[in-house]
Structure 1
Amino acid sequence: MGLLQKSTAIALLGLLACSVHAQALEKVDASSWTYTFSPYAWAAGLSGDAAALGIPKTHIKSNFSSLRKDLDFAAMALFTARKHRFGFFADLTYIKASAGTTFSATSPLQDINVGATALAAMLGAGYAVWDHKKGHVDVIGALRYWDVDVSATLRAKNTKAIHRHDGGKWVDALTGLRAVYYLTDNTYATGWALAGKGGAEFSWDIAAGVGYKINTGLSAQLGYRALGVNYSQDHFHYKMVHKGPVLGLTWRF
């Protein structure tokens, strides 16, 4: 199979917890709970291999600049709760994307079109092992649920098109660290590193960013994130690295 030049652009699991600590820019009562809600966007590109029933393993590669054409719909949100050293978070991401490519005139294949939808949901908790007025470091653990569906149409010269639909559902357990450090009263740096497995053979997630407090209840974050996953089950194969800039807003209440 030739190279697939445009990705299906599944940008799973958005900004996770980059915005979860925006509330710490304000002094809060450690005995009370603080909550945040964060809608966000991830302009991610992909690189890796995918295969569906009847469609051989195909290499996929793109960058975030192709998302305007390939991305059909995306909705992402994060909710967090924190009290002193303890915190909980829930993240939900839904992506619908499509892509296609045309093969060279010398190839027996004519073109391939791929459509994909992905739902990713994560529930997790953390505990601050280092807690200071300038920042903190959390040990976190989470369960991440994946639901990926891929449809593909392959056309070869002088033959009927092949239509296939396949997908996978699985849960991975992740653990890692998340940190935030306050540069000024209004700006902070944050990042995390997670890794684990479960239904997938291996999954990892790293990110770094900066945030700015717009007012007492609203802040904005800008950063970069890379997420990798390797999943195989029967005829379905999904081994991808998703990476690109992230942009989000956080409301604190």
Structure 2
Amino acid sequence: MKRFGFAAILALCVSHASHAADVVTAPSEEIVPVTEAVPGWALQITPYMWAAGLKGNISPFRRAPTIGVEKPFSDVMDELNIGGFVNLWARYDRFVFSGDIMYVSTTDSRTSGPLPPLPIPVPIGTVVNGSVDSTQFTATLQGGYRIIDNTAFSLDVLVGARAWHISNDVTVSALGASRTYGESFGWVDPVVGARAFLPFTEKLSVMAQADIGGFGAGSELTWSVLGTVNYAFTDTLSVSAGYKVLDVDYRHGGHVFDVQLSGPVLGATWRF
């Protein structure tokens, strides 16, 4: 059986907005009192990083044995081929919309265990090389409403869905011959959540966000928690740093993906 290579680098950051704006995951804004707020669109784009380690149990191929995986961030980085992460946020008056996309491709060349047979007989003692290419795509889309909005504190309630797509390809080779076998699976989880924002000064703020979902519709359970400290350099640019945990327990059709990713986050936000 192989060790499932996985990487995720995710962070959410916030830009300081001088006129009723915030970021989907790490907003940094000067909140305008409700009585003075003028309806209008605000948009923010956040490329981010997440130095996440991985721990859990997986069975990346249908009806394959379930194996335990525990990888620190350094191992994740060694296996990373490419990763892309972006967070989008929009607001109109008290209505909010957030989108978060994560794409990660990894290769684990330390594969061991039962492997697909080669197209030729392999003598006993022959060295067989194996590698596993893994791709994960995760997209979270949520809409919501700001139920508290004043100069000292804001609170949003959110509802939406988190989509997952996992793809794995194992390649074994020996004596100049090779064979590749691949599988992919995916699901969609409903999620509900909340986000709170607390400014200390015009430039410094903190943000906390959490959601929970799954409920057997896709995974058995999924949840995430994020906390950041944010600093605004200008009205259009800010940075944030914090910590994030993402957990999911999916078991269906012979596939198991029960993992938790956790680690520090760092990002930068541009506001338009």
TM-score normalised by the chain length of structure 1: 0.84
CA change 1:71–1:92 in 2 (3 A) is same
CA change 1:183–1:66 in 2 (3 A) is farther
Structure 2 counterpart SS, 1:203: strand
CA change 1:235–1:161 in 2 (3 A) is farther
The match for 2:188 among 156, 171, 174 is 171
Residue aligning to 1:9? 6
CA change 1:187–1:23 in 2 (3 A) is closer
- Structure 1 segments unaligned to the other structure (5+ residues): 104-109
1:141–1:176: 8 Å Cα contact kept in structure 2?
Answer: yes
CA change 1:126–1:15 in 2 (3 A) is farther
Percent of aligned pairs with the same residue?
28
1:8–1:114: 8 Å Cα contact kept in structure 2?
Answer: yes
1:68 equivalent to 2:65? Answer no
**Residues in 1 aligned to 2:68 and 2:51: alpha-carbon distance in whole angstroms:** 20
1:118 equivalent to 2:136? Answer yes
Residue aligning to 2:40? 32
1:9–1:45: 8 Å Cα contact kept in structure 2?
Answer: no
2:31–2:150: 8 Å Cα contact kept in structure 1?
Answer: no
Alignment of 1:185-224 (within 5 A): 185-197=202-214, 198-224=217-243
Give, as a single letter, the amino acid of the residue that structure 2 aligns with 1:22: P
**Residues in 1 aligned to 2:96 and 2:69: alpha-carbon distance in whole angstroms:** 37
2:12–2:48: 8 Å Cα contact kept in structure 1?
Answer: no
Structure 1 counterpart SS, 2:65: strand
Give, as a single letter, the amino acid of the residue that structure 1 aligns with 2:162: R
Shift of 1:131: 1.7
1:167–1:236: 8 Å Cα contact kept in structure 2?
Answer: no
1:250 equivalent to 2:269? Answer yes
- Alignment deviations for residues 169-210 of structure 1 (CA, whole Å, 9 cap, x no partner): 111100021111112210111111111112111111111111
Structure 2 counterpart SS, 1:65: helix
1:227 equivalent to 2:246? Answer yes
**Residues in 2 aligned to 1:230 and 1:167: alpha-carbon distance in whole angstroms:** 17
2:111–2:132: 8 Å Cα contact kept in structure 1?
Answer: no
**Residues in 2 aligned to 1:102 and 1:93: alpha-carbon distance in whole angstroms:** 25
1:125–1:141: 8 Å Cα contact kept in structure 2?
Answer: yes
More strand by share: 1
Structure 1 counterpart SS, 2:75: helix
1:86 equivalent to 2:92? Answer no
Residue aligning to 1:107? none
Shift of 1:15: 4.0
- Cα root mean square deviation, aligned: 2.9
TM-score normalised by the chain length of structure 2: 0.78
- Structure 2 segments unaligned to the other structure (5+ residues): 15-22, 113-127
Shift of 1:129: 2.0
**Larger relative contact order (Cα-Cα within 8 Å, sequence gap ≥ 6):** 2
2:169–2:180: 8 Å Cα contact kept in structure 1?
Answer: yes
Shift of 1:101: 3.5
**Residues in 2 aligned to 1:118 and 1:222: alpha-carbon distance in whole angstroms:** 24
